[in-house]
């Protein structure tokens, strides 16, 4: 995916490109949902109730634990592969698919949310806050990483590939002074505001950005939207965009109110949330 962006440094903001981008975001969310709910996506056949699922050296019998849950563990552009053609797909721009499950793990229901953060290895830029907060790692870890990737995708679509490195050169979060919580990094909030204000930004892009910041890029892993719900939300936006070209493409950039900004409001909301958490401890 990183090379795909570099090979197309200034994409056209037209119907084909924007719809393709949203379709790929939706497809990636669907693929991640299949990983997160592996047993549901790949049910065992009735005549093989004790079938063993294998991926490299991972072996988990589902005879005792009928539900099997996966976590990718390293969602980033380099692990999303672009295929120019896939059988059954009519996308002229190709298809993006999740790949590289070298850090992937599968767990039964009892252990899926109890992973030791000290044993988690991933790319620093896309690392979720729970690792530095020394909190258990769950499937929600992938959701945070996916939110980072989606913001880079929107950056490419609106501003071009060169702006991605300017935006994502460090963690997307900041640990609070007491070390017990995390907040979305100020620079990320400012960048998202700039995306909202960009001259190309359509109502569709506004809705995707709001979805990411409200339900995906959330420091508290328990509050992040599950992959299946994220797929449903994105698919709803996709169906609306297919039917409404104005919603899809017409620029409606946000205009900043003098003396105020989404950055100030975001910082205030996190400060209030942080104080509420501290008062209940």
Coil vs helix vs strand at 184: strand
Q: What is the pLDDT of residue 256?
A: 65
194-253 pLDDT, tens digit each: 999 999 999 999 999 999 999 999 999 999 999 999 999 999 999 999 999 999 999 999
- Token pair recorded at residue 205: 């892009």
* Phi and psi, residue 138, nearest 5°: -130, -170
- Token pair recorded at residue 1: 């995916």
Which domains does the chain carry?
Answer: 2-279 (1.10.510.10)
Tokens 């892009």 belong to residue: 205
Cα–Cα dist 38/152, whole Å: 27
Q: What is the pLDDT of residue 278?
A: 52
Show the DSSP H helices in 78-139 as ranges: 129-132
Nearest CA to 250 out of 207, 197, 199, 195 is that of 199
Rounded average pLDDT per 10-residue block, the chain, 281 residues: 96 98 97 82 42 41 49 91 84 90 48 45 79 90 96 98 83 92 94 96 98 97 96 98 98 73 52 52 52
Q: What percent of the chain has pLDDT over 90?
A: 59
Coil vs helix vs strand at 221: helix
Cα–Cα dist 237/55, whole Å: 34
Note the Cα 239 to chain centre separation in Å: 20
pTM of the model: 0.78
């Amino acid at each position: 995916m990183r090379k795909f962006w570099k090979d197309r440094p200034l994409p056209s903001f037209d119907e084909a490109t924007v719809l393709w981008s949203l379709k790929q975001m939706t497809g990636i969310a669907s693929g991640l949902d299949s990983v997160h709910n592996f047993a549901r996506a790949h049910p065992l056949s009735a005549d093989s109730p004790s079938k063993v699922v294998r991926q490299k050296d991972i072996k988990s019998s589902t005879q005792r634990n009928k539900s099997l849950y996966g976590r990718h563990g390293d969602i980033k552009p380099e692990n999303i592969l672009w295929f120019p053609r896939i059988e059954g797909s009519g996308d002229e721009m190709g298809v993006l698919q999740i790949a590289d499950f070298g850090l992937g793990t599968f767990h039964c229901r009892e252990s899926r949310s109890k992973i030791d953060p000290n044993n988690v290895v991933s790319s620093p830029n896309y690392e979720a806050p729970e690792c530095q907060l020394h909190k258990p790692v769950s499937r929600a870890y992938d959701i945070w990483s996916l939110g980072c990737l989606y913001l880079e995708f929107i950056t490419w679509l609106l501003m071009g590939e060169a702006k991605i490195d300017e935006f994502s050169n460090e963690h997307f979060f900041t640990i609070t002074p007491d070390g017990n919580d995390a907040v979305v990094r100020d620079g990320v909030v400012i960048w998202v505001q700039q995306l909202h204000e960009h001259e190309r930004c359509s109502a569709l892009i506004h809705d995707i950005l709001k979805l990411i910041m409200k339900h995906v890029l959330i420091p508290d892993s328990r509050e992040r939207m599950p992959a299946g719900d994220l797929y449903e939300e994105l698919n709803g936006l996709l169906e609306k965009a297919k039917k409404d070209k104005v919603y899809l493409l017409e620029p409606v950039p946000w205009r900043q109110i003098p003396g105020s900004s989404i950055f100030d409001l975001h910082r205030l909301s996190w400060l209030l949330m942080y104080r509420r958490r501290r008062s209940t401890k």
